[in-house]
A = this chain, B = another copy of it.
Amino acid sequence: MPSTTARRRASISDVARLAGVSVGTVSNVLNRPDRVSDATRERVESAIAQLSFVPNGSARHLRVGTITTVGAIVLDIANPFFTDLARGIEARLDEDDYTLMIASSDEDPEREARYLRLYEQHGVQGIMVVPATDDVDHLVTLAERGVRIVLLDRPSPVESLSSVAVDDVHGGALAVRHLLGQGHERIAFLNGPHTIRQCADRWAGAVQAVEAAGLDPAVTLEETTVSLNADGGDAGTRSLVDRTDRPTSVFCVNDLVALGSLRTLRRAGLSVPDDVAVVGYDDVTFAAELATPLTSVRQPTHELGVRAADLLLRGDDGEPEHVVFQPTLVVRESSAR
């Protein structure tokens, strides 16, 4: 029967009083049960149950100074790529009984900073972050201050920050080389802002591929900046469909954008890939099942998360590491004549 009054949550000293022992003993029951005799342990345990006592994590953290939680900040929690990534992180964290707090920056540096501050204040073991901007000075500062940082899904521009990334330049090149191979000489690139490193890199790769084919990027490639979701794909594609000099292909910076693009093309009565070819990026689960199965650049997403968590847990004993995976192209109907 729970007490009727008690508004305040029970503390360790309430337990101690009820069990007739000192707080030190209660703490021992909690953390080194072997040090305490069976009789008192049972008494204390029953007191704990009776008061439904739950230790105050903040007090514990304050005293021991460490905590088994890590934070992750991604650009967009609604993007399957990032949740698959989170899944990878969780899988590795589970092994060591760590827990994960996830937050979404929505590509907003303000929000990113806010969550960084929150995590730091709470003393997490470390933070994995997909930076919302090109500038990582604030993260370097954080790291110097002793917060363990791992850059997610983008290579570190500085030696001191560990990172786990996929070669986005190569990925961009893969996609565009493929389109060029299919005979496309006018490629629209629906991209995000270059302040996001992944976007800048994929663009760089695209340019490289065009140049390698002996063509002029300025005439072959046409970049439109869109928001990184299906609505962005809609908007970016709408501005294309009615043009007389419409590009023959679209490269989308991620599959969500590609989804919007395909949707808008279909509504405009254009056929894919005959009127317009489309290539996406990330190869999310549904890419293969769309009305027109989507050609996409596949990344080892899950593995990315696992490695990132691994690096973070490994601690600072080792030097910072910079892991780079290679993407592959998965060709499907949306770009194959």
**A interface vs B, CB < 8 Å?**
2, 7, 9, 52, 54-62, 69, 77-78, 80, 83-84, 86-87, 90, 99-104, 114-115, 117-118, 120-123, 141, 144-146, 230, 256, 259, 262-263, 266, 285-286, 288-293
Contact = CB atoms under 8 A, between A and B. Distances in A.
- Secondary structure of the A contact surface, majority rule: helix
Contacts of A263: 288-289
A78 B84 contact: yes
Given A83-B83, A102-B101, A263-B288, A118 B54 contact: no
A118 B124 CA distance: 13
Scoring A61, A144, A263, A289 by chain B CB atoms within 10 A of each residue's CB, the highest score goes to A289
A333 to B, nearest CB: 10
Contacts of A69: 118
A122 B122 contact: yes
27 contacts: A2-B144, A7-B146, A9-B145, A52-B145, A54-B120, A56-B121, A56-B123, A57-B118, A57-B123, A58-B59, A58-B121, A77-B87, A78-B80, A78-B83, A86-B104, A99-B114, A99-B118, A102-B102, A102-B103, A256-B285, A259-B285, A263-B288, A263-B289, A286-B290, A289-B291, A290-B290, A291-B291
